[in-house]
Amino acid sequence: MSNKRVILFVLCGLLGLGILLTSWHLGGRTTGGFAGLFGSRPSIVLIIMDTLRADKMGCYGFGANTSPELDAIAKQGVRFSRAVVQCSWTRPSIGSMLTGLYPRTLGIYKEENDSLNDRFTTLAEALQAQGYRTIGLTANPNLNKGYNFHQGFDHYVDSTVVFPWMKPEAGQLPLKEHKLLSAKDLFSKALEFVGSGEETPYYIQINVMEVHEWYQKPDRSLLRPPFSLMFPGTPNSKYLQSLRQLSKDIDDFIKALRALPGLDNTLFVLTSDHGEGLDDHPDVWYSVGHGRYLYESQVMVPLILYHPGGRLPVGTIEQRVRLLDLMPTVLDYVGIPIPEPVQGISLLPLIRGETDRIDLPQHFVTETELRSSHKIAAHSPSWKYIENLETGKNRYEGYIPLELQPIGVKENGAKTNRIASQQAVADALRSYLREWEARYPKVQTTRREGAISQKEIEQLKSLGYLQ
């Protein structure tokens, strides 16, 4: 066990004892979250629906029947109407989500070797220190153990992509099994771990890739009949089909998990790490995917909390929030102290209905440095101010250095850029960004131990992260 984990166990144990004594003094009540005493804390399941845009779900206003099961879950829980990620590609975004820290504080910028430093406390570690049994599963190799995303897990299942041209290596799957693990596979594995008879509460974290893989050819597609035949003639039908299938699979998993002894008391958190450009930006180079831009299509994601049988109020929260706030919110919900330093804040007062507005930053900042892209943006309730920082050969066709795009409008590069007519707005957001950068300076990246393997390079290439 690392020194960090020993210290974390000791500190959380002492803090937990303090909460317990306070609870006795208050007649069995706690002042933190909904959970009450340690023994009554709920299990927690975090499902990261990779690459899912909020606005393609029915509960977020989409017209087609893409997510009926998830929509029904949202109606029984808390839905955040506007949740903004801190980066538009997986590793920095999920690193931020799980630590409550900005990607630049984590030092995660690039694809090949940037990993999650052990000095940062993850959600899994904080829960594990308080007695949670922790299980992690990922279909995305960006979160594999090689990038240190297994911190705090008792069991962790890596992505196991193997491609047909590869020579067999020890521990690899047969060459014919070259698709990513499906959500059904991951959910089945999670149920096997939980079925071991442990009585302590669980933290289960699962990254599923159905929506990310919407564009794949049949030999690598995760779609199954009849989902692969839905929404004929609809633009981006495969993206919608992937969501429709995932909605059903998540609902089946939730029902199966809740049927297990002791798992009926479970908080489910459903979200995504980023969105997808699709056809929203027709005149912007290479904008159909994600990671290269900071437009709404790539940074607005769903965020739903569902606790059947728990004390979670039902409703919709309109205030904009950040995925940066997820980790402290979950810990606060179950009455576990939030470790320092955390840059996000707990959203529990909003969830409890104590207020319809909490003291979040005036503007939200997003960044990306995927491949040749280098951008930073400030999002206000009405505008997105974007600085495109690419230089030399990295400047793409149609490049413009500064953008001011209205919120709620499908950005189309220079054609929707309003910076010339709204210079005062741009100046104010630029000033905010400079102050924010001074407050949160970039740290040196943490390189993984050893070079990235050829297998992992090919995995990331297949997912569109490397060229």
Domain ranges across the chain: 42-361, 365-439
The 10s digit of each residue's pLDDT in 216-234 is: 998 889 999 999 999 999 9
The number of beta carbons lying within 10 Å of the beta carbon of residue 290 is 29
pLDDT at 15 over 50: no
Could you give the CA distance from residue 63 to residue 246 in angstroms, rounded to a whole number? 18
The 10s digit of each residue's pLDDT in 311-363 is: 899 999 999 999 999 999 999 999 999 999 999 999 999 999 999 999 999 99
- Provide DSSP, 89-105: SHHHHHHHHHHTS-HHH
pLDDT for position 92: 98
Write the Ramachandran bin of 179: left for phi over 0, alpha for psi from -120 to 50, otherwise beta: beta
User: Which structure tokens are listed for 284?
Assistant: 């912007």
CA atoms 139, 140, 142, 143: torsion sign: negative
User: Which structure tokens are listed for 166?
Assistant: 């590869």
Mean pLDDT (the chain, rounded): 88
User: Which structure tokens are listed for 18?
Assistant: 């303090």
Name residue, tokens 């503007």.
363
Map residue 78 onto helix, strand or coil.
strand
CATH superfamily of 42-361: Alkaline Phosphatase, subunit A (3.40.720.10)
With CA atoms as reference, report the closest residue to 88 among 267, 251, 269, 293. 293
Helix (H) or strand (E) holding 21: helix 3-25
Map residue 355 onto helix, strand or coil.
coil
- For residues 63 and 166, the model is more confident at 63
Asked if 91 and 143 touch (Cβ cutoff 8 Å), the reply is yes
Among 8-17, 211-220, 295-304, name the most confident range. 295-304
- For residues 144 and 428, the model is more confident at 428
Mean pLDDT value across residues 391-397: 95
103 Cβ contact list (under 8 Å, min separation 6): 86, 87, 92, 93, 95, 96, 109, 367
The 10s digit of each residue's pLDDT in 140-187 is: 988 988 899 999 999 999 987 743 323 344 444 443 446 789 999 999
Mean pLDDT value across residues 59-71: 98
Return the percentage of the chain with pLDDT > 70, whole number.
83
Which pTM was predicted?
0.88
With CA atoms as reference, report the closest residue to 466 among 115, 458, 103, 277. 458
pLDDT at 115 over 60: yes
Strands 133-138 and 78-80: unpaired
**Angle at alpha carbon of residue 204, lines to 238 and 175, rounded to 5°:** 55
Asked if 258 and 310 touch (Cβ cutoff 8 Å), the reply is no
Strands 300-301 and 202-208: unpaired
Mean pLDDT value across residues 106-116: 91
CA atoms 261, 267, 270, 271: torsion sign: negative
pLDDT for position 273: 98
Q: What is the radius of gyration, based on Cα positions, of the chain?
A: 22
pLDDT for position 179: 75
pLDDT for position 51: 98
Strands 375-379 and 266-271: unpaired
Could you give the CA distance from residue 384 to residue 342 in angstroms, rounded to a whole number? 25
pLDDT at 456 over 90: no
Name residue, tokens 């030399």.
392
